[in-house]
């Protein structure tokens, strides 16, 4: 689904003012999995609120929309009387990457799910774990994409053209952060040197700015748990890179980082962690292995020397892992805590970790017979958006893939044109 394109069967009229998409070029991410607390995963803007949460709340509370509200709430596993409180906890952001989600049309009184590829620049609401939950312009509820990103098919047919900058290797899938976030570290999509720290559940009125060009040193992480290391990196505006299909357990012990402690990196840059899982017995606690005697069997991933992903079937064997995002400290800002100082900027990026699979192929797809396995190419296209170029801030995660293959295309699609 392209930015500013009308949905085929939206919950609410796209022209009702519920949300405004922006002109954002998808950022290089080399595809793959990213967790919802990855610094710089999402974007922000100085302009007026991009999502009108209060108006969406009123629409869903109107008696004439009762059936629609029940379908909306059901798609998100909510009760209708819990909608206002749920919406109050969401945060408006802009996508900085072409992102796979499980979207929902509203047809015959029901929420009909289909897999959708949302273009960078689309305004969404995210929850306290950084997960996309609502497409702002139409109010459609969103759920996580659960297929295999490397095996999707994205079709731009019926005369539609691929949107500018579309690259299947940059498509991302978002997974929830392992903790509830207090703030989300955004990048201003019109000024990549400006970061925005937005408290969760606010719409921009409490934003604080920070300088994404200020570099931060990688902290000493050897001997800490993976969860603690992730939180420390997040507090400095750095992301955790990972080369497996899933992040390692929070309790896995860190034995090395690449780059090493003390290296100064820009905001959103990756740090690859090598970890070894603890080997406790059932009924008792686990004893962390000695970091020096239990070294990983593989070296930290790099762009020239790929590493092996974690092996869930052999928890006692060390492995090189990483994870899409950092986990839980306050993102970097000038006014933050010691772990939340201003993040780095224009230094040379660190070596990239290996991935579990190559970038996804760009292939055709045909409309399936059931909406459960559909995906969304761009829909009715307006004239090409105008505006400033997208942020040049770096992407914040190295890819991994999920496990269930999915083929996708919407059951219906309007025509999208370009001037």
| Choice between 202 and 179, residue whose per-residue pLDDT is larger | 202
CB count, 10 Å around CB of 61? 13
Of 92-106, 260-274, 341-355, the one with minimum mean pLDDT is 341-355
Tell me the C-alpha to C-alpha distance, in Å, between residue 33 and each of 36, 45, 98. 10, 25, 12
Residue that the structure tokens 């995906």 belong to: 375
Contact 137, 65 (CB under 8 A): no
Q: Which of 127, 133, 143 is nearest to 177 (CA)?
A: 127
Q: Between 51 and 245, where is the model more confident?
A: 51
- Averaged pLDDT of the chain: 73
* Alpha-carbon distances of 169 from 186, 227, 401, rounded to whole Å: 22, 28, 12
Q: Return the ∠ at Cα 200 (arms to 195 and 206), rounded to 5°.
A: 60
pTM for the structure as a whole = 0.67
> 63-67, 210-214, 412-416: which has the minimum mean pLDDT?
412-416
pLDDT digits (tens, 9 = 90+) for 148-185: 777 777 777 665 566 877 888 888 999 888 789 999 99
User: Strands 140-141, 183-188: parallel, antiparallel or unpaired by DSSP?
Assistant: unpaired
Which pLDDT score, from 0 to 100, does residue 187 have?
A: 95
* d(C-alpha 336, C-alpha 216), whole Å: 13
48 dihedral zone (left: phi>0; alpha: psi -120 to 50; beta): beta
Mean pLDDT of 7-15: 92
**Residues 232, 114: Cα–Cα separation, whole Å:** 37
pLDDT of 54 > 50? The answer is yes
Examine residue 202 and say whether the peptide bond preceding it is cis (omega within 30 degrees of 0).
no
Cα separation, 359 vs 169, in Å, equals: 5
Per-residue pLDDT band at 247 (split at 50, 70, 90): confident
Q: How confident is the model at residue 342 (pLDDT cuts 50, 70, 90)?
A: very low
Angle at 46 between CA 329 and CA 212, to 5 degrees: 45
The contacts of residue 290 (CB under 8 Å, 6+ apart) are: none
Rounded CA separation 27/182 (Å)? 25
Mean pLDDT of 291-306: 34
User: How many residues are there in the chain?
Assistant: 419
Average pLDDT over residues 264-268: 93
In DSSP terms, 91 is beta-bridged to: 126
Of the pLDDT bands very low, low, confident and very high (cuts 50, 70, 90), residue 304 is very low
Instruction: State residue 270's pLDDT score.
Output: 83
Tell me if 123 sits within 8 A of 17, measured CB to CB: no
- Region label for 75, one of left (φ > 0), alpha (ψ between -120 and 50) or beta (otherwise): alpha
* Residue 250: per-residue pLDDT: 84
pLDDT at 399 over 70: no
């Amino acid at each position: 689904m392209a930015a500013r394109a009308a949905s085929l069967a939206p919950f609410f009229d796209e022209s009702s003012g519920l949300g405004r998409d922006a002109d954002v070029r998808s950022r290089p991410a080399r595809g793959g999995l990213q967790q919802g607390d990855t610094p710089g995963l999402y974007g922000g803007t100085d302009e007026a609120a991009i999502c009108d949460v209060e108006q969406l709340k009123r629409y869903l509370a109107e008696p004439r929309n009762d059936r629609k509200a029940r379908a909306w709430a059901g798609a998100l596993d909510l009760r209708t009387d819990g909608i206002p409180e749920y919406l109050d906890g969401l945060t408006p952001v802009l996508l900085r990457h072409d992102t796979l989600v499980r979207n929902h049309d509203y047809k015959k009184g029901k929420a009909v799910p289909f897999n959708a590829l949302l273009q960078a620049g689309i305004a969404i609401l995210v929850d306290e774990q950084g997960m996309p939950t609502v497409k702002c312009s139409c109010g459609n509820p969103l759920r996580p994409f659960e297929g295999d990103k490397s095996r999707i098919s994205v079709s731009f047919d019926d005369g539609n053209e691929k949107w500018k900058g579309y690259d299947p290797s940059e498509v991302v899938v978002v997974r929830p952060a392992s903790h509830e976030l207090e703030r989300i570290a955004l990048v201003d999509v019109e000024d990549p040197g400006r970061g925005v720290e937005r408290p969760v559940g606010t719409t921009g009125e409490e934003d604080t700015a920070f300088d994404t060009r200020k570099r931060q040193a990688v902290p000493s992480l050897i001997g800490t748990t993976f969860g603690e290391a992730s939180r420390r990196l997040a507090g400095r505006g750095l992301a955790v890179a990972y080369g497996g299909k899933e992040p390692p357990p929070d309790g896995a012990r860190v034995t090395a980082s690449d780059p090493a402690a003390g290296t100064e990196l820009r905001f959103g840059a990756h740090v690859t962690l090598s970890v070894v899982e603890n080997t406790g017995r059932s009924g008792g606690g686990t004893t962390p292995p000695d970091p020096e005697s239990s070294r990983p069997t593989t070296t930290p991933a790099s762009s020239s020397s790929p590493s092996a992903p974690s092996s869930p079937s052999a928890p006692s064997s060390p492995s090189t892992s990483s994870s899409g995002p950092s986990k839980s400290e306050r993102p970097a800002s000038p006014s933050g805590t010691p772990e939340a100082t201003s993040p780095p900027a224009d230094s040379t990026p660190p070596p990239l970790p290996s991935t579990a699979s190559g970038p996804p192929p760009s292939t055709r797809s045909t409309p399936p017979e059931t909406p459960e396995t559909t995906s969304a190419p761009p829909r009715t296209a307006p004239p090409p958006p105008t505006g400033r170029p997208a942020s040049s801030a770096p992407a914040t995660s190295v890819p991994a893939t999920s496990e269930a293959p999915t083929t996708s295309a919407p059951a219906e699609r309007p025509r999208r044109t370009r001037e």
